[in-house]
């Protein structure tokens, strides 16, 4: 029986029991259709509701465990006036916990410990044991120190995820330095999230516990000068009438105020770039109190091989710094990404510098990526810098810190990343999401070389 026959049958047999049966079937079909229409409408509504549904900014809590081992060596220690060992090692451990408070808000707690051993710092007092020499580490308490940091960041994203604000509070301390920091940022996304504009402001209120080079302390007010036990117990060679014109520092505070602006833009399906600018004003004690300076117009005095300080580093109490940077990243293909960065920096101490870096993430397998990288840095010296024993006592400001000298630096790095998208739970309900390992070798043209190994582990709390 064809369709037409069926219709005819339906309309010709309306007065038969079959008619009622057909009508009943039609009713069922009607209700089924009605139900389906309602269902579709409901589904449509659901789709519309999905538009309103907010994806959580952070689905689950995440834990980042970072650690690094840093080692450096050189022969231009600032503590000994630009000549002496710069041997230093540092071990750092950092724990970053990000906790979703609700759909929109995330609290991040960042805590770190850094323990270092420094040969140059040990020479704040080179006379504590054995033969005093700027190239030999002393064994005093200043040889090592530990830095502690705690930072809390609270961020809130708008319902449409086009604006994000955050507030930050931090505190860090080590033996001779403490810092209280606070700040905030606001980020706005435009053009279907193709453009991002960010503003940030931070204030750091730092405080020194002032420590002077050991041989200068007897010449501070109330000191015994050459009658101090140090000079009675040791013989001064060279100029025996050691008499530095040492004035103690009056300011123990260092305040930093920074304003940052960032603009990033998606340039195509495979390229995005960004511009960053930071403006920083620092005020207060900007020199390091235990760094020595030697004058060429003052007769030299020694104990053993150690040149007794003529003065400590003196630097202006204000510094204005501007850093302008740009990043450009290219997704070349599914195996290779090119990450580039350039920064120009200048300040009112006469320093200007260029930083250029390139990193080439190579995806060698689904879970593994290699990270070869190269970074070039150069800087022009601060107006107040001169090498060991070349300053004049008539100058107002002076430093022999080679971190403020003319130099170029090259850094070569190689890293590997393992990312596991399908997480395995363990008893602690932690899933290891990724592991990063990296080694970087850094060398400056003024002789300092350094190596740093970093490791990062990201866990997701299930």
Partner 1 sequence: MIKKIILLACIPIALSNCVMVKGYEKVNINDPDMELSEKLCDRNITVFHSYREAAAGANGGKTGGGCGCN
Q: How far is the CB of 299 from partner 1 (least distance, A)?
A: 32
Residues 150-179 that bind partner 1 (CB under 8 A): 170, 172, 174, 176-177, 179
Binding to partner 1 by CB under 8 A, coded x per residue (else -) over 376-395, reads -x-x--x-------------
- Options 115, 199, 455, 461; binder of partner 1; rule CB under 8 A: 455
Question: Residue 159's closest CA among 46, 54, 49?
Answer: 54
Residues 396-435 that bind partner 1 (CB under 8 A): 403-404, 409, 413, 415, 419
Residue closer to partner 1 by CB (options 206, 310) is 206
3-state secondary structure of 193: coil
- Determine, following the binding rule CB under 8 A, whether residue 353 of this chain makes contact with partner 1: yes
Residues 262-301 that bind partner 1 (CB under 8 A): 263-270, 272-278, 280, 282, 288
Residues 218-257 that bind partner 1 (CB under 8 A): 254-256
Part of the chain binding partner 1 (CB under 8 A), chosen from 42-50, 124-132, 388-396, 444-452 = 444-452
Residue closer to partner 1 by CB (options 81, 361) is 361
- Determine, following the binding rule CB under 8 A, whether residue 57 of this chain makes contact with partner 1: no
**C-alpha to C-alpha distance for 110 and 291, rounded to whole angstroms:** 31
- Options 326, 367, 389, 430; binder of partner 1; rule CB under 8 A: 326
Part of the chain binding partner 1 (CB under 8 A), chosen from 19-27, 51-59, 228-236, 349-357 = 349-357
Q: How far is the CB of 462 from partner 1 (least distance, A)?
A: 21
- Determine, following the binding rule CB under 8 A, whether residue 450 of this chain makes contact with partner 1: yes
Residues 61-100 that bind partner 1 (CB under 8 A): 64, 66, 68, 70, 72, 90, 92, 94, 96
Residue closer to partner 1 by CB (options 134, 181) is 181
- Is-contact 95 113, C-beta < 8 A? no
- Options 165, 331, 376, 397; binder of partner 1; rule CB under 8 A: 331
φ, ψ (nearest 5 deg) of residue 8: -60, -45
3-state secondary structure of 347: strand
Residue closer to partner 1 by CB (options 138, 448) is 448
- Determine, following the binding rule CB under 8 A, whether residue 197 of this chain makes contact with partner 1: no
- Options 10, 156, 188, 343; binder of partner 1; rule CB under 8 A: 343
Residue closer to partner 1 by CB (options 19, 148) is 148
Residue closer to partner 1 by CB (options 389, 411) is 411
Question: How many residues line the site for partner 1 (CB under 8 A)?
Answer: 94
Residue closer to partner 1 by CB (options 60, 378) is 378
**C-alpha to C-alpha distance for 259 and 409, rounded to whole angstroms:** 27
Neighbours of 295 (CB within 10 A): 22
Sheet strands (E) in 209-296 = 236-238, 253-266, 271-284, 292-293
3-state secondary structure of 360: coil
3-state secondary structure of 209: coil
Residue closer to partner 1 by CB (options 22, 357) is 357
Residue closer to partner 1 by CB (options 230, 404) is 404
Q: How far is the CB of 56 from partner 1 (least distance, A)?
A: 17
- Determine, following the binding rule CB under 8 A, whether residue 194 of this chain makes contact with partner 1: yes
Q: How far is the CB of 117 from partner 1 (least distance, A)?
A: 15
Q: How far is the CB of 201 from partner 1 (least distance, A)?
A: 11
Cα angle at 276 between 273 and 279, to 5 degrees? 175
Q: Which residues contact 57 (CB under 8 A, 6 or more apart)?
A: 100, 103, 104, 105, 106, 155, 157, 161
DSSP string computed for 287-311? S-TT-EE-BTTS--EEETTEEPPSE
Give kind and range of the element (H or E) at residue 169. strand 163-174
Residue pointed to by tokens 């079937």 = 25
3-state secondary structure of 106: strand
Residue closer to partner 1 by CB (options 19, 279) is 279
- Is-contact 56 103, C-beta < 8 A? yes
**C-alpha to C-alpha distance for 390 and 109, rounded to whole angstroms:** 47
* The two three-digit tokens of residue 74, written as one number: 């050189």
φ, ψ (nearest 5 deg) of residue 48: -65, -40
3-state secondary structure of 426: coil
Residue closer to partner 1 by CB (options 100, 274) is 274
Q: How far is the CB of 64 from partner 1 (least distance, A)?
A: 6
Residue closer to partner 1 by CB (options 189, 293) is 189
Evaluated on CA atoms 6, 7, 12, 16, the torsion sign reads positive
φ, ψ (nearest 5 deg) of residue 160: -85, 0
3-state secondary structure of 335: coil
Give kind and range of the element (H or E) at residue 107. strand 105-118
Pairing type for strands 430-444 and 195-208 reads unpaired
Q: How far is the CB of 165 from partner 1 (least distance, A)?
A: 17
Q: How far is the CB of 342 from partner 1 (least distance, A)?
A: 7
């Amino acid at each position: 029986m064809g369709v037409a026959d069926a219709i005819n049958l339906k309309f010709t047999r309306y007065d038969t029991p079959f008619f009622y049966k057909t009508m009943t079937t039609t009713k069922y079909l009607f209700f089924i259709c009605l139900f389906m229409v309602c269902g579709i409408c409901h589904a449509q509504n659901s789709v519309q509701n999905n538009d309103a549904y907010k994806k959580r900014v952070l689905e689950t809590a995440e834990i980042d465990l970072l650690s690094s081992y840093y080692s450096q060596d050189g022969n231009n220690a600032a503590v000994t006036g630009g000549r002496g060992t710069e041997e230093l090692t540092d071990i750092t451990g950092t724990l970053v916990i990000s906790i979703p408070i609700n759909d929109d808000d995330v609290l991040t707690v960042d805590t770190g410990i850094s323990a270092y051993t420094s040969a140059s710092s040990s020479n704040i007092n080179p006379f504590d044991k054995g033969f005093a020499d700027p190239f030999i580490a002393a064994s005093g308490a200043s040889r090592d120190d530990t830095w502690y940091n705690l930072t809390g960041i609270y961020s809130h994203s708008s319902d449409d995820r086009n604006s994000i604000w955050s507030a930050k509070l931090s505190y860090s301390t080590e033996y001779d330095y403490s810092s209280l920091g606070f700040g905030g940022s606001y980020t706005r996304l435009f053009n279907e999230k193709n453009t991002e504009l960010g503003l940030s402001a931070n204030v750091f209120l730092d405080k020194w516990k002032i420590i002077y080079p050991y041989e200068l302390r007897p010449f501070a007010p109330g000191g015994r000068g050459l009658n101090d036990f140090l000079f009675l117990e040791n013989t001064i060679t060279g100029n025996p009438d050691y008499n530095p014109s040492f004035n103690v520092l009056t300011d123990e505070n260092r305040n930093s105020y920074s304003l940052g602006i960032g603009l990033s833009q998606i340039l195509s399906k495979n390229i995005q770039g960004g511009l960053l600018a930071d403006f920083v004003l620092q005020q207060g004690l900007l020199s390091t109190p235990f760094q020595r300076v030697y004058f060429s117009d003052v007769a030299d005095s020694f104990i053993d091989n150690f040149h007794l300080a003529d003065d400590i580093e003196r630097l202006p109490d204000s510094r204005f710094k501007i850093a302008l940077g740009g990043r450009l990243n290219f997704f070349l293909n599914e195996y290779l990404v090119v990450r580039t960065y350039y920064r120009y920096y200048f300040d009112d101490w006469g320093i200007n510098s260029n930083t250029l870096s390139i990193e080439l993430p190579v995806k060698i397998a689904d879970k593994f990526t290699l990270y070869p990288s190269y970074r070039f840095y150069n800087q022009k010296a601060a107006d107040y810098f001169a090498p060991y024993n070349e300053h004049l006592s008539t100058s107002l400001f002076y430093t022999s810190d080679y971190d403020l000298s003319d130099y170029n630096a090259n850094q070569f790095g190689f890293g590997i990343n393992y990312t596991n998208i399908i997480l395995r739970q363990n008893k602690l309900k932690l899933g290891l999401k990724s592991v990063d390992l990296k080694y970087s070798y850094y060398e400056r043209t003024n002789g300092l070389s350094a190596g740093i190994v970093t490791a990062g582990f990201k866990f997701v709390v299930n």
